[in-house]
Structure 1
Amino acid sequence: MIAKIIPIKSVRKSNYSALIQYLTDPQGKIERISQIKTSNCYSDDVTAALLEIQNTQEMNKRAKSDKTCHLVLSFPEGERLPHADLNAIEERFCNALGFTGHQRISVVHDDTNNLHMHIAINKIHPKNLTIHNPYYDFIKVAKLCEQIEQEYGLTQVNHETVKDQASRVAQEIETRTGVESLLGWIKREVLTEIKHADNWQDLHQVLARHGLAIKERGNGFVLVANNNVAVKASSVDRSLSRANLTQRLGTFVQNEHSTQSSQQNTKHYQPRPLQNRIDTSRLYARYQQEQANSARQRTNQWVMLRQSRDQLIERAKGEAKLKRSLIKGIKAGRLAKKALYATAHQQFKTTIEVIKSDYQKSYQHSKTSHSRMGWLDWLTFEAKNGNAEALGVLRSRRVGQFKGNQVSAKQSNDGFSTDGHFKDSCVESITKIGTVTYKAGSTTIRDDGKRLIVLPDTSREALADILQVAIKKYGNHLAINGTEQFRLEIAQVAVQNQMRITFDNKRLEQYRQQLMKQHRVSRAQSVGGIRSATTTPRRSL
């Protein structure tokens, strides 16, 4: 499992109410929210608890740091725990971080392949009204993750007990966006050569061959690419800090040669999708073109909106000036003119407020309709609109084996299917690894192209619907993987609904055939009993 505290760089952005509103928003998905739980509040109602937490935070006027801790617990793909275990794990993490007795609202999200829990913790203690900021939280969190993985039999993940902020940031950026970052590119392509440079000129030549330059910035150095994207040198590796570089190479020396003369036959950093088994060059070029067109349209709309706003304001000013000149020429008393001037001024203020309000609404609408989309967000948008190539790229990002309950074909293809079975269904969402959630009757189906994913505690009616979809998708010979209870239940549902299917597992198929025989015998007995009960007995004379 992975536990992470989401940092908020600006206190201005820390809004507990907005965080809870986002966490509790179903976003049009039936299965997004699995549980909402309040802790250490007087009421279990979310609205009442939210008001209580906000009042507690407002009572502390001295704290300058963020008053909210946003902790996320994410479990491996396919591994799901009951709510009782999730609540116990949540309690242990809060206690380990020193938030015992603090108010919090936790929300379990089940709309992705990875079950995850968001915990919004109030850092202000409800009684002492003091703020608590955990120190070296990454060490405590990593150790507790290892303990929980062993206790609950979860997949063990390599947790970091050393704070390598650079690597974590680069990995998070690339995982979230699917695009290679400058920091990650330098670590992979240039770092080894940089470490072998013996003097500043050698270092400048190495950087120039890769389209980079090193510059002084504040008390350290930055590495700047040709597209003006920069990264802190010490973030790439601690050996590139100012102290370490000057100790190894001496006092900093500027590059004696111009960068332009060294840029022939060089490697250059360009934001592009991470290495993938599928060629994404055509899709990425289309993505960049669409984003450029959207930005251009947005800019043009904003210019037109500002011009329209300024014209309306100027017209309102002219009308107000005309009204004042008319009032000035009226033969009336001083108090009457004063009242007329006040009325005209109030009308002018109201008109200006309406103009600015309409401008803000139009501006926000334009900003929303032409907002910049990330590479993975664009792929999910295209996939939802039926782009099979985009869906294939998303599915190729999957790593590792899925260990949860699943229904698939007898011979699972190693490739990533982009079949259009769900196109005629109501698609709810598509994850960034290509798992499609869509409706089949009253049941929600999760399809990652290679299997149908079945959540724990799925009802028998839903299992029957899932099997019907699997028959249409894979045929009548199915592979059932997961817990023993799930496999037996699938066989029972298949027999109960008289489905003409077979299983690739011999033991499971034998169990299904045994159930079929029992079902036929019981059915024959019940039919025979009905016939004997309805037959009129022969009367003796």
Structure 2
Amino acid sequence: RQYEPRPVRTRVDTVELYARYKAEQQDIGASRSLAWAQARDRKNRLIEAAKRAGRLKRAAIKLLGDPGVSRKVLYALASKTLRDEIEKINKQYLRDRQVIHEKCQRQTWADWLRRKATDGDREALATLRARDAAQGLKGNTLAATGGQQAGQDHEAGARQDSITKTGTIIYRVGSSAVRDDGEKLKVSRGVTQDGLQAALRMAMERYGNRITVNGSAEFKQQVAGAAAIGNLSLTFEDVVLERRRQALLSEANTEVRYSFFDIKNNIRYTDRKSGAETSAGTCQGEDQSPALLKRGEEIPGVPIDEASAQRQKRVVVGDAVTVTQPGSTKTKGRSR
């Protein structure tokens, strides 16, 4: 009975992919043999050239016609030079063989799939993820809700670092890592807020705006906070978590939206002092939400309608704002 290696059982058809793997491994063996032969021929040529140079040196010494100790010394130097040169050539040949061996080394099925997946082969990545060894991510994870299907992979500001033999893609966001197994995203321990927001954006790009969060209560609290601070347009499947996100979002907005009469040095806006000011946010009134403009030590309020107030919320505090007409502001070249 003869042993024949076969790929680990998977949940997808790998016949064509495995045929590609076998063909490439055979090509690697042939390429390695050819490269070794070329390196050996190069070594032999260099040694023959060194010997030819050595013979020329000995002939030149013989023509000097100066017998005695000096000729023997010259012969000895020529012989030593030849030996050193041949040793140098042989060492270089061994280094070349090692480089060829590493470059043309046969790979296991899993290693080949991993290399192909790293190069962007989607079929190889799907095969890795379908192997029985791939159990999926557990613990603190972000996932799709219900029957949502994963979309195309996007990095959302993250940098792809590597791919494991189970098909998990590891992304880097600063000092944080985000792992993606095709169905769930998992963040590393001690993840930063930027890392959490990047993971949430990646989840939104893959699964849509309705996200399921699994893990510890502390992790869920961190995710809700990151979503609120980042003002991400998503909804959590967990009703309690979604309420928490909305509460945190409301608190964050309250901190920067003031009551008009609580603001020091507030005045009513007049055309007499038109020109460029900087945004100081908006404030909530009973009938209107005036836009606040900082002008020196004064903070005039410009009455604007509800639609304009919604647009004004997206203006960053400190941005330059110009009042073009009553109830209308302009920033970064766009009318508000």
What is the Cα deviation at residue 337 of structure 1? 0.3
State yes or no: 1:391 paired with 2:122: no
Distance 2:155 2:226 in 1: 23
For residues 351-500 of structure 1, the aligned pairs below 5 Å read 351-397=85-131, 398-400=133-135, 402-411=137-146, 419-422=152-155, 426-439=159-172, 444-500=177-233
1:293/1:418 CA distance change after superposition, 3 Å: farther
In 1, are the aligned partners of 2:228 and 2:248 still within 8 Å (CA)?
yes
Task: Provide, for residues 274-297 of structure 1, a one-character-per-residue CA deviation record: whole Å limited to 9, x for no partner.
Answer: 221111111111111111101101
Distance 1:390 1:423 in 2: 23
Task: Provide, for residues 188-237 of structure 1, a one-character-per-residue CA deviation record: whole Å limited to 9, x for no partner.
Answer: xxxxxxxxxxxxxxxxxxxxxxxx2xxxxxxxxxxxx1xxx5xxxxxxxx
For residues 142-221 of structure 1, the aligned pairs below 5 Å read 212=1
Distance 2:151 2:6 in 1: 23
Distance 2:156 2:193 in 1: 25
Residue aligned with 1:533, SS: coil
State yes or no: 1:300 paired with 2:300: no
1:528/1:480 CA distance change after superposition, 3 Å: same
CA RMSD across the alignment: 2.7
State yes or no: 1:289 paired with 2:7: no
Task: Provide, for residues 465-489 of structure 1, a one-character-per-residue CA deviation record: whole Å limited to 9, x for no partner.
Answer: 2212222222211111111100011
In 2, are the aligned partners of 1:495 and 1:515 still within 8 Å (CA)?
yes
1:535/1:308 CA distance change after superposition, 3 Å: closer
Letter aligned with residue 533 of structure 1: K
Give TM-score scaled by structure 1 length. Answer: 0.46
What is the Cα deviation at residue 316 of structure 1? 2.1
List 4+ stretches of structure 1 deviating above 6 A.
Answer: none
1:535 to 245, 248, 266: 266
1:518 to 242, 251, 263: 251
Distance 1:314 1:466 in 2: 62
For residues 247-396 of structure 1, the aligned pairs below 5 Å read 270-396=4-130
Quote the residue 1:503 is aligned against: 236
Q: Give ranges in structure 1 of 5+ residues lacking alignment.
A: 1-211, 213-224, 230-269
In 1, are the aligned partners of 2:117 and 2:124 still within 8 Å (CA)?
yes
Distance 1:447 1:523 in 2: 36
Letter aligned with residue 60 of structure 2: L
Letter aligned with residue 407 of structure 1: L
Residue aligned with 1:421, SS: coil
1:306/1:333 CA distance change after superposition, 3 Å: same
1:518/1:423 CA distance change after superposition, 3 Å: closer
1:529/1:434 CA distance change after superposition, 3 Å: same
1:292/1:329 CA distance change after superposition, 3 Å: same
The more displaced of 389-398 and 346-355 is: 346-355
In 2, are the aligned partners of 1:302 and 1:363 still within 8 Å (CA)?
yes
The structure with more radius of gyration: 2
Distance 2:78 2:44 in 1: 20
Letter aligned with residue 359 of structure 1: Y
Distance 1:423 1:510 in 2: 26
Task: Provide, for residues 30-60 of structure 1, a one-character-per-residue CA deviation record: whole Å limited to 9, x for no partner.
Answer: xxxxxxxxxxxxxxxxxxxxxxxxxxxxxxx
What is the Cα deviation at residue 418 of structure 1? 8.4
Distance 1:483 1:339 in 2: 83
Residue aligned with 1:469, SS: helix
1:296/1:529 CA distance change after superposition, 3 Å: same
Distance 1:439 1:420 in 2: 14
The structure with the largest strand share of the pair is: 2
In 1, are the aligned partners of 2:193 and 2:226 still within 8 Å (CA)?
yes
Residue aligned with 2:6, SS: coil
Distance 1:463 1:425 in 2: 11
Residue aligned with 2:264, SS: helix
Task: Provide, for residues 482-541 of structure 1, a one-character-per-residue CA deviation record: whole Å limited to 9, x for no partner.
Answer: 1110001111111122222110011111222232333344443xx22785212269xxxx
Task: Provide, for residues 101-140 of structure 1, a one-character-per-residue CA deviation record: whole Å limited to 9, x for no partner.
Answer: xxxxxxxxxxxxxxxxxxxxxxxxxxxxxxxxxxxxxxxx
1:311/1:517 CA distance change after superposition, 3 Å: closer
Letter aligned with residue 317 of structure 1: K
1:405/1:533 CA distance change after superposition, 3 Å: same
What is the Cα deviation at residue 298 of structure 1? 0.6
In 1, are the aligned partners of 2:156 and 2:202 still within 8 Å (CA)?
no
What is the Cα deviation at residue 425 of structure 1? 6.4
What is the Cα deviation at residue 324 of structure 1? 2.1
Identity among equivalent positions (%) equals 33
Letter aligned with residue 455 of structure 1: S
Quote the residue 1:162 is aligned against: none
What is the Cα deviation at residue 370 of structure 1? 0.9
Task: Provide, for residues 62-118 of structure 1, a one-character-per-residue CA deviation record: whole Å limited to 9, x for no partner.
Answer: xxxxxxxxxxxxxxxxxxxxxxxxxxxxxxxxxxxxxxxxxxxxxxxxxxxxxxxxx
In 2, are the aligned partners of 1:419 and 1:449 still within 8 Å (CA)?
no
What is the Cα deviation at residue 443 of structure 1? 5.2
1:371/1:418 CA distance change after superposition, 3 Å: farther
1:461/1:453 CA distance change after superposition, 3 Å: same
Letter aligned with residue 238 of structure 2: N
Quote the residue 1:43 is aligned against: none
